[in-house]
């Protein structure tokens, strides 16, 4: 019994989202929904007899498959992803001794794997030396890469037995308050305090009856008085956001379903195959009908086709929330939120669990080098400054993609748990977050050409 999607209750004084009976509807704040009924059963596909010799396959879902021959370098990469990181995550989940991340090597093995890189040795060695320098600083000031990668456990919304803590890094803001459906968007009801490092914080104790101060599924934002004026922003760490019909900006959603509504994985991640045959896909474009497809339909209709065609891994594009659909998922607005166009986070978990049941590894494309330039529902100008997360001036704008470029060189020097190499935390925290909460097997880091390298 899969968790169904959420719709707003009509009879509530506070705008709260509740469960709906139909898994074919997408959560929207005002109760309206798009009809995502499953299409007719597609015709049966046959596995090509020469699939072992094929290097690419494109079918109606719009995905391109890549066949990677079994080799020592490839196996090493896959082993690092599936056997190394995933095992470390599982150890942390069950409370065992945290995995120790190995120290950086000398960086010379790459030239044995690909001798053609020797022509660029000077530059590559320089870049690797910079990595080792930053890595040494992380080990010294952050307690190691493992602890560093868990910023999502402190920033954004976190729930304890006593209540909800919300933290947001916004050093440029003069004042901040948490607003939403839960307090009728009153900026004076829940004001936040700022520490010496620009982290704003508020704790909301449970209600008298023990229920959450912020109902699951209700809209939330942070209201800030900034150098650019007063603005409402979606938390940089929000786990779900939706776009209401007739509205342009997305709304941040406090996503904390009760235990009975959380999807529980039933199937373990498949073992590493001797060779990967990856089917690259896009959930929204995977239907033969002219509509945006859903996680549920992809799970029921597309995954079995991928399995029948002989693939052992599916790589999913455009999972991170992006307000501009035509960007193909490259203009990310909410980095930790799976796109609500296709369903809820529980639906995504169900999709991945079904893939595991079919013996398919699930890989995720993440876009980390740049971000949407939206200021209302993205990170651009989040705290009212141009240089909060990004480079200032022309260096912080990608002329080709019309997007913002993260400043990888920024470092917050402090003694608290919040000091971090600012947007290295996006790929590292995001990867670990997705591994734990969605059971992904690995990621493809998309830099959007060399222009994205900061």
| Mean of pLDDT values over 255-271 | 94
| Higher per-residue pLDDT: 305 or 73 | 305
Burial 297-320 (b: 16+ CB within 10 A, else e): bbbbbbbebbbebbbbbbbbbbbb
Reduced to 3 states, what is the DSSP secondary structure of residue 6?
A: strand
Percent of the chain whose pLDDT exceeds 90: 52
**Residue 31 lies inside a defined structural domain of this protein:** no
**Residue 330 lies inside a defined structural domain of this protein:** yes
Instruction: Write the pLDDT tens digit of every residue in 288-298.
Output: 999 999 999 99
| Higher per-residue pLDDT: 316 or 439 | 316
**Residue 65 lies inside a defined structural domain of this protein:** no
Which CATH number is 170's domain given? 2.60.40.10
Instruction: Write the pLDDT tens digit of every residue in 77-102.
Output: 333 333 333 333 333 333 344 566 77
Q: Tokens representing 67?
A: 């066949």
Give dist(CA 186, CA 303) in Å, integer.
45
Residues 362 and 435 in one domain: yes
| Structural domain boundaries enclosing 267 | 262-446
Give dist(CA 85, CA 270) in Å, integer.
15
Q: Say whether pLDDT at 153 is over 50.
A: yes
Residues 271 and 251 in one domain: no
Residues 275 and 332 in one domain: yes
Pairing of strands 65-68, 276-282: antiparallel
Residues 291 and 239 in one domain: no
**Residue 113 lies inside a defined structural domain of this protein:** yes
- For the chain, the domain total comes to 3
Residues 235 and 383 in one domain: no
Minimum mean pLDDT range among 170-174, 217-221, 439-443: 439-443
pTM for the whole structure: 0.73
Which CATH number is 324's domain given? 3.20.20.80
pLDDT for position 150? 78
Residues 237 and 371 in one domain: no
Burial class (CB in 10 A: 0-12, 13-18, 19+), 268: exposed
Residues 368 and 431 in one domain: yes
Instruction: Write the pLDDT tens digit of every residue in 188-204.
Output: 999 999 999 899 999 99
Q: Say whether pLDDT at 15 is over 70.
A: no
Give the mean pLDDT of the chain: 75
Concatenate the DSSP letters of all residues of 100-144 into one string: PPPPP--S-HHHHH-GGGGGGHHHHHHHHHHHHHHHHHHHHHSS-
* pLDDT bucket at 279, cuts 50 / 70 / 90: very high
Residues 400 and 353 in one domain: yes
Give dist(CA 285, CA 293) in Å, integer.
6
pLDDT for position 440? 53
Domain limit, last residue, from 123, 143, 163: 143
Contacts of 206 (CB under 8 A, 6+ apart): 162, 163, 212, 213
Q: Say whether pLDDT at 72 is over 80.
A: no
- For tokens 């097997």, what's the residue? 441
**Residue 63 lies inside a defined structural domain of this protein:** no
């Amino acid at each position: 019994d899969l968790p169904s999607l959420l719709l707003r209750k009509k009879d509530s004084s506070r705008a709260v989202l509740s469960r709906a009976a139909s898994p074919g509807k997408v959560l929207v704040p005002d109760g309206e929904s798009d009809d995502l009924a499953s299409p007719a059963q597609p015709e049966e596909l046959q596995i090509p007899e020469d699939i072992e010799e094929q290097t690419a396959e494109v079918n109606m879902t719009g995905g391109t498959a890549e066949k990677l021959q079994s080799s020592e370098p490839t196996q090493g990469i896959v082993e690092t992803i599936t056997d190394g990181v995933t095992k470390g995550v599982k150890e942390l989940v069950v409370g065992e001794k945290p995995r120790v991340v190995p120290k950086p090597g000398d960086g010379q093995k790459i030239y044995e794997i690909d001798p053609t890189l020797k022509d660029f040795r000077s530059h590559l060695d320089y870049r690797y030396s910079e990595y080792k320098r930053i890595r040494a600083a992380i080990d010294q000031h952050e307690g190691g890469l493992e602890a560093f990668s868990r910023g999502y456990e402190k920033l954004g919304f976190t729930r304890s037995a006593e209540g909800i803590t919300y933290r947001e890094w916004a050093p440029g803001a003069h004042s901040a308050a948490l607003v939403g459906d839960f307090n009728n968007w009153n900026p004076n009801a829940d004001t936040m305090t700022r520490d010496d490092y620009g982290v704003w914080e508020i704790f909301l104790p449970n209600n008298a009856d023990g229920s959450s101060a912020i109902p699951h599924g209700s809209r939330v934002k942070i209201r800030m008085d900034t150098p650019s004026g007063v603005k409402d922003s979606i938390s940089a760490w929000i786990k779900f956001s939706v776009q209401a019909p007739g509205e342009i900006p997305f709304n941040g959603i406090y996503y904390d379903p009760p235990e009975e509504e959380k999807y529980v994985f039933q199937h373990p991640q498949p073992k590493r195959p001797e060779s990967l045959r990856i089917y690259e896909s896009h959930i929204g474009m995977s239907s033969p009908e002219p509509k945006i497809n859903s996680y549920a339909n992809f799970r029921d209709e597309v995954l079995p086709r991928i399995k029948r065609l002989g693939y052992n891994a599916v790589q999913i594009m455009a999972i991170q929330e992006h307000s501009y659909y035509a960007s193909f998922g490259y203009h990310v607005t909410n980095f930790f939120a799976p796109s609500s166009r296709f369903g809820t986070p529980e639906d995504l978990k169900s999709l991945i669990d079904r893939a595991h049941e079919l013996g398919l590894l699930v890989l995720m494309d993440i876009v980390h080098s740049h971000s949407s330039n939206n200021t209302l529902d993205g990170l651009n100008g989040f705290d009212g400054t141009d240089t909060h997360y990004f480079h200032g001036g022309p260096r912080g704008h990608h002329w080709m993609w019309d997007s913002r470029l993260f400043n990888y060189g920024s470092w917050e020097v402090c003694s608290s748990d919040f000091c971090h190499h600012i947007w290295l935390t996006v790929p590292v925290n995001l990867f670990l977050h997705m591994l734990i909460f969605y059971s992904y097997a690995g990621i493809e880091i998309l830099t959007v050409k060399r222009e994205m390298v900061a």
